[in-house]
Amino acid sequence: MSPPSRSGIYVSRGVALLLTGLTVALLLALVALAALYGNCMLVQPSEQHIPGVKDTASTPPGGQELARPTRTPEAAGEPEVATTSQDWPPPSGPWNHSRLPPWLVPLHYDLELWPRLWPDNLSYTESVTFTGRVNITVRCTVATSRLLLHSCFLTYKQVEVWGPLALGTRNATVGRVPVDKVWFALDTQYMVLDLGQVLQPGSRYELHLGFSGQVLQCASEGLFLNLYTDQGKLRGLIATQMEPTFARTVFPCFDEPALKATFNITIIHHPGYKALSNMPQLGQSERIDVNGSRWMVTTFHTTPRMPTYLVALAICDFDHVSRTERGKEIRIWARKDAIANGNVDFAMNATGPIFSFLEDLFNISYSLPKTDIIALPYFDNRAMENWGLLTFDEASLLLEPDDELTEKRVRILAVIAHEVGHQWFGNLVTMSWWNNIWLNEGLASYFELGIINYFYPKLPKNEIFFFNFLHGVLREDHFQESRAVSTNVENFTETNEIKELFNIYTYHKGACMARMLDSFLSQDLFISALQSYLETFSYANAEQDDLWRHFQMAIDEQNIIQLPTTVKNIMDSWTYQGGFPVITLNVSTGVMKQEPFYLEKTENQTLVSHNNTWIVPIFWMKTGTTQPLVWLDRSSMVFPEMQLSDSDSDWLTLNFNVTGYYRVNYDELGWKKLNQQLEKNPKAIPAITRLQLVSDAFALSKNNYIEIETALDLTKYLAEEDEILVWFEVLVNLINRDVISDVNNYAIYPLLKKYLLKRINSIWNTCSTLIRKNVAALQDDYLALLSVEKVFETACWLGLEDCLQLSKELFRKWMADPEIAIPHPIQRVALCNGIALGTVKEWDFLFSFYINITKEKEERGSRLIPAMSCSKEPWILNRFMEYVVTVNPNPFNETNVIEAVAASEVGQYVAKDFLLNNWPAVSERYGPESVDALVWVIGRTISTDLQIMELLWFLGNVLDEHQKIAAHAKLQAIKTENLKNKKRIARMAEWLWKNT
């Protein structure tokens, strides 16, 4: 599946408190949603006869209360259906385990699905049903009279077992195995068949199953429906999402990744639709149903061996574009409007070269004869790598032809690259069980980087990886609460538990593991080992140890790269434990230590001995020269070569190019030497290392590893820093809500402005020149574009007159002619400043513009609503908030507006007063679920118990007892965080006073 979204925006502690506080409301909402979802999933489809198939059994759907058969069990050959009596199902057995017993191995599925979707009978309220049949060829490995396979929310009309089959034939005259009873183990989602005779090991059998179910409208899971508008008309399509365990909701199957089989897929659909599946179309015929309606029967070629989670189909009336890459057709399907407007052209031009790039890299051709890619109007997962039929959410694939934003192009390119990468990692070679899902997701994520670099060679490769992967996961990962990359989920029984494994650790930390491995092996060895791994396990399954073994084979076949131990020992130390180490070097003694990274480390944690060590590759640089790799494989080691002399020119950095998954700390002398070098000649230290130094220092200071003053010392040289990405990292650590949320109470406010104004002029002049003359010059570097926004925002916040005038100039030109767009990278900031520096005239113009736009309202609203909240006039902000709670229909999200107002320096107090004075109207408008979010809005600046009591006294009139308890806990947490921030900020203010 697609990786988690990477916006480049990271959540502050204050925002994290808000998110934590939302839990109670979210739980209440989830209860309601669960009830709705349950209705969507659990409603039994009306029974429909499967044409040409005798109703030999009628059994209830998995997950339903089990019912008696509609006919008597004496009917010849009909299995009895178990009831939910106290003595059934049996209390223990293989149905209590999360893994299928190894009694049967699936070899082949003949699958037919018939969704009853009519193009002229679409409705948001009417459910769509489907029927289907599947013949599963299995090989028996253990003598058994009981069969288990997966099934969930399906109703059955046929349950038969035939065999044993003659090898190499499809013998229609083989005997029928009696099925005595069919029942369902609800917790583990098993369908259980009790047979009247024992199946013989080594023999093959066929399971014949006829079933029906509902097409889901509530989420993108299993077989689901999209209703959308195209060419001014309501239209519908059906698609699938089987990963991780939703195939069992579409057809009965052996729904585990290691149980691969081949598939012959048949789709019955309305003649007005096209049918797509994993393989090319084999043929078409017509079928007339019992009502005389004509249907199209589309069959497809046999798939390679693959897991059930890759089975895919789509039924739609989309248009498509196509091209041929190395003799294989690639088609991209989308709404007719999107095709006509050229919205798929960028993806179409990129996809073929991505396939070729990976084929050449791995020296393994793509396995299937074609590739279809479909852009779904609504798809919760962003994208899915189904073999031969990749599904995307429109936002992850479509691009306006005139959209020159490299950021959007790189984002789309990255998602395509990820899913195409899965054609090798996941589809060709599949992990054996979900505990090793990182073998799919982490490796696919890592190769996004190479593909982005292939298309955009001017982008800084190390910096791209830092911001796209490493930066975010290091902020989330810590020793107290972290999931290992390779997780033991053998006992997981819930789909949601498996879905939780598709997280930032699996994708981003997995990519970091691959990059670290690549760095200490060399790229040639890394790729050679992966080629061997892919060739060996093609069309099969692999474990993590299989991957390590092939890397070890590559190491053993050469004598240049030497490791301190086996690849397995090295990498297991990273993949089987959560968190990451902090590496601390004393440059006076050469002693290097490692310890787990804790959030807000306490003194007690440093005293407690721990057995958690990593085998750490240390790439390092000394006085501008890269040094040979060394390894830290114990808690503490001495490296005499890392001792520094008293010379002013000596300095040293660890984790060169930031290829290691750890943070680096130094003793006082080590940091001092780096500061001296930065002030003397910062360019001697590579840009990626300067970026790393800032990131590490502020993260370590925030979590009590070093003093805040040590991190601030690194910023003294900034007047000479011309790398905008380094400036970005400094500014996100200095100019954030934790530091400046309540500026009237902090002495830091004028000191910080004065300090930065002395240093920002040079980088501001560079940015303003680009903005005024040629912002397009940065189009090939989207990271720089994002950084320009932060510098622009900071310069205006500092009151730099040139920045304020530029904002007013851009806003006036846009007001005069909205076709003269403000450059996208600075649009949000320019709009905010245009409103803050303007009058009611500018505000009314922006408000009218928002009300009247129809295209991309949600996307534009994410910029316009915060901009309208930037006004310095309390009466304008009050009018804005009053509008959102009184006017119908309301085009705004009420709480978003109030929270946006509260985010500004003036608005935080205006929003608080507004809520206190208008609570009944807000509560009536938005409902009780607004309480948690708004408690944070009105309490974000509190720092005393008296303030808490005052707010609780007011809230006591509108909250029930449960909400009062939650609000009190949240306000206490906010107070604690604010008091902690005040101590940190007081020290920052003292440092600034000394250094300004």
Which of the residues are catalytic? 419, 507
Report yes or no: 778 and 818 within 8 Å, Cβ to Cβ: no
What are the φ/ψ torsions at residue 38 (nearest 5 degrees)? Answer: -60, -40
Tell me whether the omega of the peptide bond preceding residue 115 falls within 30 degrees of 0, making it cis. no
How far is 913 from 926, CA to CA, in rounded Å?
18
First and final CA of the chain: distance in angstroms?
A: 50
E strands of 673-798, at which residues? none
How far is 903 from 737, CA to CA, in rounded Å?
9
Helices (H), 587-720: 603-607, 668-680, 687-702, 708-713
Dihedral sign, CA of 303, 309, 311, 316? negative
How far is 930 from 919, CA to CA, in rounded Å?
10
Q: Are β-strands 262-269 and 104-115 bridged in parallel, bridged antiparallel, or unpaired?
A: parallel
Report yes or no: 246 and 222 within 8 Å, Cβ to Cβ: yes
Long-range contact pairs involving 713-717 (C-beta distance under 8 Å, separation at least 24): 713/671, 713/675, 714/671, 714/674, 714/675, 714/678, 715/759, 716/675, 716/678, 716/679, 716/995, 717/675, 717/678, 717/679, 717/682
How far is 878 from 492, CA to CA, in rounded Å?
51
Residue type, 728: F
Report yes or no: 781 and 406 within 8 Å, Cβ to Cβ: yes
Q: Are β-strands 429-431 and 204-215 bridged in parallel, bridged antiparallel, or unpaired?
A: unpaired
Number of H helices, E strands in the chain: 32, 32
How far is 550 from 529, CA to CA, in rounded Å?
5
Could you tell me which residues come within 8 angstroms of residue 788 by beta carbon, excluding any fewer than 6 positions away?
724, 767, 770, 771, 775, 778, 825, 826
How far is 329 from 315, CA to CA, in rounded Å?
19
Distances (CA, A) of 18 to 8, 896, 934: 20, 13, 9
Which of 387, 267, 371 is CA-nearest to residue 315? 267
Report yes or no: 665 and 705 within 8 Å, Cβ to Cβ: yes
Which of 122, 112, 359, 312 is CA-nearest to residue 212? 112
Which of 192, 205, 91, 100 is CA-nearest to residue 146? 192
**Per the structure block, which two tokens stand in for 442?**
């982490």
How far is 408 from 779, CA to CA, in rounded Å?
11
Which of 713, 690, 691, 689 is CA-nearest to residue 701? 713
